[in-house]
A and B are shown apart, each in its own frame.
Chain A
Amino acid sequence: MSALTNIIGKEIRELLTPATFLPIIVMAIIFGSMGNTIGGIDEELEEAPIIALINNDNGEFSDIAESVFENNSEIIYNSTNIENKDIAIEKLKENDGVALIVIKEDFSEQISKGNISQMDVYWIMNGAGILDSISSSVVQNLIDYVNTNISKKLISSNESVNATNILNPTVKNETTYFKGKELIGLSPSEISSVLSSQSTFIPVIIMIIIIMAGQMVISSMALEKENKTLETLLTLPVRRTSIVAGKIIASAIIGLILALIYMIGLGYYMQSFQFGSEQVLSTFDLTLGGTDLLLIGASIFVTLIAALAFCMLLGTMAKNFKSAQTLTFPVVMLALIPMFITMFKDFDTLPFALKAVLFGIPFSHPMMAPRALIFDDYLMVISGIIYVAIFAVILIVIIVWVFKTDRLLTGSSNINKEKIMKKFFYKRPPRI
């Protein structure tokens, strides 16, 4: 064996560890899943959307509209009476429908006169995530297709209508029902757009805080071991809980400072994409009040403590600084997964299994809290805070226990079962 092959062999043996491959394998699986999800979007786009139709007009142009909807969607409720609007909306809600389209009685007449006609669209919106708006986009396209067909008819029949009206013979009056609110004049895409600040900005910030502060606490534990300072610290007259709390609080402070710096930069960046969204939010009472902000603060605080406790527990397993870098991987994953899910889907529109996973990951809760509070879902936020707080307390108890065992120094807890049994079940004889 030459010197070169000898060195290559040694290097490969050193690099060929599970720690090197595991992150790449998991990332590959995640990208694969995301690819499947995007493939799923195509399928959803091809599916006929469920709608309800009230056609109060029997003219030729409303016939064009009706035939477009009949051929390209699944109409679960069809009526000619505008009085049946509420029944239609209930039917849609029961059947995961997308929209009720109401064609008024003078629809064809107005177009024939050269005017722009109106169509009322009542959207049933279930979620504000990117994937939640697919079906409404399909219906939106159908309405555009109705316009195109009416335009074609007008052009082919040589009607004396002005060019602008020929190109856009109808307009929509939109109302969206979302999480118990009736939002008049807003379409689902507009709502998704104004809520995107919450669905992208806040999850990204939470993820950054968790990862940055988490890395610090794991590295801190690893450095204590690598620099051989841990043994000295553990023999000083200081409570184990103080050591654990000290490390967690210090990392939380630095993590928050770093996040604040990051937030300022990202805030300016996001503002450039959200012109006027604040005004829309306040017009429709979609803003956060003082109590809401307090609850978000509480959610972020308990999550940060839980994240740091989790990282500290991982840090107790770190042998040195290098192994600490690998141990941050589960934290990054647990921060990325809820970030992506909350960006793409609303909690309410997720399948039950995914809901359970998302609720179970403590880092999800502050990411979901702002939107939940905008729509007055206090139960979700408060139960989330309680869950994460319990999670954090349990982790801290485990860490303090680990600090009292041999695990920190030897990698094994060496639990003396016999001694534990004796402590709890052996009763000392009474003193005489």
Chain B
Amino acid sequence: MDSVVKVKNLTKKYGEKEAVRGISFEIKPGEIFGLIGPNGAGKTTSLRIISTLLTITSGSINVMGFDLEEKPEEVRKILSYLPEDAGAYKNLTGIRYLEFIANFFEANKKRSMIDRGIEIADLKERINDRVDTYSKGMQRRLLVGRALMTEPKLAILDEPTSGLDVINAQEIRNIIKNTTKEGTTVLLSSHNMLEVEYLCDRIALIDDGLIVERGKPKDLLLKYKAKNVEEVFSKVVK
């Protein structure tokens, strides 16, 4: 398979407002692909559409050979989505939450999924405490564990290190980087340009619902004679 995700001329309208205006991109197996852009550019909308949460106004999306509109159930089996402001069920313990999620997948993989989730979340003995006693960072670690424990073919991560301190964020970035070695393809969005530079194999800069530039971070730095992706972005948008 040459591409895990194929997005063609994707548009999304909320009433009269066009949030995404005909974007196209492909993500190759094992790649970390970043959608970068300012607030309201259409990043989260695009991620929500690929995650089967929102409907497509026009265009098409194909995930691992499945047409998103025709086979959303099949797509949900192979993807994992981590929303930017996601939460977990507050009345459950961390481990019970991971068990709850694992119950939706094949029974014979349940134990290994939970173990992997515990390992990624790395909450030590606090994994047995209720979620409502967790700090924001602990909850985010649990959610990253939840998103990656199923070893999805496609992980869609919206601001994966949002709310984490420097140490925790670094650990999560390493986990994301390593997960691609185990066969997961990652589509992520982030405001943190350092994170993008460190993690992404390729990026697409999105502004006002359009992809305005794309490529490998290093190639873009050379092309725009910039010191970092942030500078590239400023130059492209101007």
Closest A residue to B54 by beta carbon equals: A406
CB distance B86 to A231 under 8 Å? Answer: yes
Q: Mark B39-56, 1 if CB is under 8 A from A, else 0.
A: 000000000100111110
Q: Name which of A272-280, A354-362, A408-416 contacts chain B.
A: A408-416
Closest A residue to B105 by beta carbon equals: A237
Knowing A235-B53, A236-B104, A410-B14 touch, does A229 contact B87 (C-beta < 8 A)? yes
Docked pose: A237 CA to B146 CA in angstroms = 14
Whether a CB of chain B sits under 8 angstroms from the CB of A19 is no
CB distance A414 to B55 under 8 Å? Answer: yes
* B residues less than 8 Å from A428 (CB atoms): none
Docked complex: B143-195 residues within 8 A CB-CB of A: 143, 146
Closest A residue to B97 by beta carbon equals: A229
Whether a CB of chain A sits under 8 angstroms from the CB of B122 is no
Query: Which residue, of A229, A235, A236, A238, has the highest number of chain B Cβ atoms within 10 A?
Result: A235
Docked complex: B29-76 residues within 8 A CB-CB of A: 48, 51-55, 57-58, 73, 76
CB distance B79 to A229 under 8 Å? Answer: no
CB distance A232 to B83 under 8 Å? Answer: yes
Whether a CB of chain A sits under 8 angstroms from the CB of B235 is no
Whether a CB of chain B sits under 8 angstroms from the CB of A58 is no
Whether a CB of chain B sits under 8 angstroms from the CB of A6 is no
Docked pose: A42 CA to B14 CA in angstroms = 58
Total A-B residue pairs with C-beta atoms closer than 8 Å? 64
Whether a CB of chain B sits under 8 angstroms from the CB of A227 is yes
Q: Mark A228-261, 1 if CB is under 8 A from B, else 0.
A: 1101101111110000000000000000000000
CB distance B101 to A414 under 8 Å? Answer: no
Whether a CB of chain A sits under 8 angstroms from the CB of B226 is no
* A residues less than 8 Å from B52 (CB atoms): 234-235
Whether a CB of chain A sits under 8 angstroms from the CB of B93 is no
Shortest distance between the CB of A224 and any CB in chain B (Å): 9
Shortest distance between the CB of B31 and any CB in chain A (Å): 20
CB distance B86 to A228 under 8 Å? Answer: yes
Docked pose: A237 CA to B52 CA in angstroms = 11
Docked pose: A77 CA to B81 CA in angstroms = 81
CB distance B13 to A239 under 8 Å? Answer: no
Shortest distance between the CB of A428 and any CB in chain B (Å): 13
Docked complex: A392-432 residues within 8 A CB-CB of B: 405-406, 409-410, 412, 414, 416, 419
CB distance A231 to B83 under 8 Å? Answer: yes
Docked pose: A344 CA to B14 CA in angstroms = 49
Of B55, B80, B146, which one neighbours A405 at CB under 8 angstroms?
B55
| Given A235-B81, A419-B58, 13 other A-B residues pairs in contact with their CB atoms under 8 A | A227-B89, A228-B86, A231-B83, A231-B86, A232-B81, A235-B52, A236-B76, A237-B76, A237-B77, A237-B104, A238-B104, A405-B55, A409-B54
Shortest distance between the CB of B29 and any CB in chain A (Å): 21
Whether a CB of chain A sits under 8 angstroms from the CB of B88 is yes
Docked complex: B91-117 residues within 8 A CB-CB of A: 101, 104-105
CB distance A231 to B53 under 8 Å? Answer: yes
CB distance B57 to A235 under 8 Å? Answer: no
Report A's interface with B, CB cutoff 8 A: 227-229, 231-232, 234-239, 405-406, 409-410, 412, 414, 416, 419
CB distance B53 to A412 under 8 Å? Answer: no
Of B48, B76, B90, which one neighbours A227 at CB under 8 angstroms?
B90
Query: Which residue, of A238, A405, A406, has the highest number of chain B Cβ atoms within 10 A?
Result: A406
Shortest distance between the CB of A321 and any CB in chain B (Å): 12
Docked pose: A352 CA to B14 CA in angstroms = 45
Whether a CB of chain A sits under 8 angstroms from the CB of B2 is no
* A residues less than 8 Å from B125 (CB atoms): none
Docked pose: A187 CA to B89 CA in angstroms = 59
Knowing A409-B54, A412-B15, A414-B55 touch, does A228 contact B48 (C-beta < 8 A)? no
* A residues less than 8 Å from B73 (CB atoms): 237, 239
Docked pose: A419 CA to B57 CA in angstroms = 8
* A residues less than 8 Å from B90 (CB atoms): 227
* B residues less than 8 Å from A419 (CB atoms): 58
* B residues less than 8 Å from A229 (CB atoms): 86-89
Closest A residue to B49 by beta carbon equals: A406
Docked pose: A236 CA to B76 CA in angstroms = 6
Closest A residue to B158 by beta carbon equals: A231
- Please provide the 3 A-B residue pairs with the shortest distance between their CB atoms, ordered closest to farther: A228-B87, A235-B81, A227-B87
Closest A residue to B78 by beta carbon equals: A237
CB distance A228 to B53 under 8 Å? Answer: no
Identify 19 residue pairs between A and B in the complex whose beta-carbon atoms are under 8 Å apart, listed by A's number.
Answer: A227-B88, A227-B90, A228-B85, A228-B86, A229-B87, A231-B51, A232-B83, A235-B52, A235-B53, A235-B76, A235-B79, A236-B104, A237-B105, A238-B76, A239-B73, A406-B55, A410-B14, A412-B14, A416-B57
Query: Which residue, of A227, A229, A232, has the highest number of chain B Cβ atoms within 10 A?
Result: A232
Closest A residue to B84 by beta carbon equals: A228
Shortest distance between the CB of A405 and any CB in chain B (Å): 7
Knowing A237-B73, A237-B104, A239-B73 touch, does A414 contact B83 (C-beta < 8 A)? no
* B residues less than 8 Å from A410 (CB atoms): 14, 54
* B residues less than 8 Å from A416 (CB atoms): 55, 57-58
Docked pose: A238 CA to B102 CA in angstroms = 12
* A residues less than 8 Å from B79 (CB atoms): 235
